[in-house]
Amino acid sequence: MKVHVKAFATFREVMDNEVDMDFPKSATVRTLLAELTGRFGGLGELMFTAPDTLRDFVNILKNGRNIYFLAGMDTPLDDGDVIALFPPVAGG
Amino acid sequence: MAALSKEQKERYRRQISVVGEDGQVKIGQTRLLIAGAGGLGSTAALFAAMAGFGTIRIIDPDCIEETNLNRQLLYREADIGRPKAVTAAKALLAMNSSIDVEPVTAAIGTVPAMDLIGKIDIVIDGLDNYPARFLLADAAWKCGIPFIHGAVEGFYGQVSTIVPTTSPCLRCIIPNPPPPRETPIIGVTTGMIGCVQITEAIKLATGNGVPISDHLWLWDGIRQKSDRLRIERIHACHICGKDGQVPKEERIR
């Protein structure tokens, strides 16, 4: 199945702005992140504090829904998903 | 609807041809709370005053420091050490003496939020931390007042116009905020995002256009690109969801 990934803000400094990816049917957001961090050096450090722990400010949307409210990194991927990765900014 | 005076028709002539006389009257009748008088807040407040928003209440606890002057356009070198809210109010009235400006030198959380947003029509978020944003955004949601979220870092910025009760609330948009820290920032970014926020306020006040509602608008000044991310409301959200409160520990990370 095909998944389209969009990256924003500082994530763009270590990875392509948009990436098309292909996964087997059982893939989850965890599978996607493993593939991305393998492909783009520096992304793992930016997104994770430990191998399975995302940094607090990493927001991941699956078709507009934050995985925080779904099944976290176990959220299953579906064909045609648009996954957005963004670190919100805070300053005023 | 009240009519514009001869002076107002002249002062706002160039924008009346954009928003119409009715639109200008509506802007004049709209009361803004500008939360934070820093980079975003001072830009937003200046453009709001120029546009003729009738009342601008501006709150900030701090005094002006030298390091503010790269972006906080209401202040001058001679203002260093002076309270931001009061100094901002003077600058805004110097720009437009026909509006009402209410400075409040206090931090969000030290004044009851309901007092702060009393008689306010739109809240502009110029805050620099998410605990204060959530406090004010929750109160605005409960009172049915639009909250125009803005935030910045470096050459990046974001805006979302939260309109109760149709759009997702701030907690649905940003469930995982970054921790407070001294943010790297350049004046063009606060200028850009503050202007987008007042663009949204003008649209809401006059009924023109489509607000950035149900979306987070992201600006990337380095690549000069902007994107809109659609955000869905979470049914279990304790602020805006139809299913009511779900304890945080039951959510999955």
Return the domain boundaries, chain A: 2-86
Contact yes or no for A90 and B225 at CB 8 A? no
Asked whether residue B160 is domain-assigned, the answer is yes
Q: Which CATH architecture has domain A2-86?
A: Roll (3.10)
Which amino acid belongs to residue B61?
Answer: P
pLDDT at B242 over 80: no
Residue B4 lies in a domain: no
With beta carbons under 8 A apart, name residues in chain B contacting A17: 223, 225
Confidence of residue B252 (pLDDT cuts 50, 70, 90): very low
Beta strands in chain B, from DSSP E residues, in sequence order? 31-35, 55-59, 100-104, 122-125, 147-153, 156-162, 215-220, 225-230
What ipTM, to 2 d.p.? 0.91
- Find which of A12, A18, A69 to mutate to test the B interface (most B CBs within 10 Å of its CB): A69
Structural domain of B195:
11-250
Structure tokens that stand for B6 in this block = 């001869």
Residue B100 Cα, gap to closest chain A Cα (Å) = 24
- Alpha-carbon gap, residue A58 to A27, rounded angstroms: 20
Q: What is the pTM of this model?
A: 0.94
Residues 6+ apart with CB under 8 A from A25: A1
Whether B192 is in a domain gets the answer yes
The pLDDT tens digits for B53-72 are 999 999 999 999 999 999 99
Tokens of A10: 């500082």
Residues 53-72 of B with CB under 8 A from A: none
Mean predicted confidence (pLDDT) in A6-24: 96
Tokens 């975003």: give the residue. Answer: B40
**Number of domains within chain B:** 1
Q: How many residues does this entry show for chain A?
A: 92
